[in-house]
Amino acid sequence: MARVLVIEDEPGIAMVLREVLREEGHNVITVPNGVSGLERLRRAPVPEIVLVDLVMPRMNGRAVVEAMRSDPMLQDIPVIIITGSLPCAENLPPEGSYQAFISKPFDLTDVLETVHSLLDSRYSSSTVAGSYLPLHGT
């Protein structure tokens, strides 16, 4: 299946996401902050999708997404934003720079459906830029 990068500073959430995605056959790497996430993104093999927490120490999710979109090697990777709070507009990356938004607590079935939908879109078209799937946890 796909290479998935999870950038999440809460170890319990990172572990749950890693395990459920692995059960689906994905190759999952987890890192605890945005700095580590960007370092991992810039090494081969490049992930096919990224799940990134919005609020993290060292480098937040907005900065990660902005760095990805300014890098030609990373700009087309689908991004799912994950957050435990409703962010104000200045904390969110620009609309169109990420493909889905998931609020914590989230339903794992919804996470899997979103990941699979974005991966299917990526493989069936040359780009997913501009698509946006708001998804709020239950």
Q: Residue 52, Cα to own-chain centre: how many angstroms?
A: 4
pLDDT of residue 121: 85
The pLDDT tens digits of the residues spanning 64-121 come to 999 999 999 999 999 999 988 766 666 777 777 889 989 899 999 999 999 999 999 8
| pTM of structure | 0.86
The pLDDT tens digits of the residues spanning 17-49 come to 999 999 999 999 999 999 999 999 999 899 999
pLDDT at 137 over 70: no
What's the rounded mean pLDDT across residues 44-58? Answer: 94
SS3 content of the chain, % helix, strand, coil (to 5): 35, 20, 45
- Within a 10 A sphere around the Cβ of 81, how many other Cβ atoms? 25
Outline where DSSP puts E strands in 23-107.
27-31, 49-53, 79-83, 100-103
Helix (H, G, I), strand (E, B) or coil at 47: coil
More confidently predicted of 13 and 124: 13
The pLDDT tens digits of the residues spanning 122-135 come to 777 644 444 444 44
CATH class entry, domain 3-135: alpha beta
- Within a 10 A sphere around the Cβ of 133, how many other Cβ atoms? 16
pLDDT at 138 over 70: no
CB burial of 24-49 (b: ≥16 within 10 Å; e: otherwise) equals eebebebbbbbbbbbebbeeeeebbb
- Which tokens belong to 42? 């810039």
DSSP class of 98? -
- Measured distance CA(23)–CA(122) in Å, rounded: 21
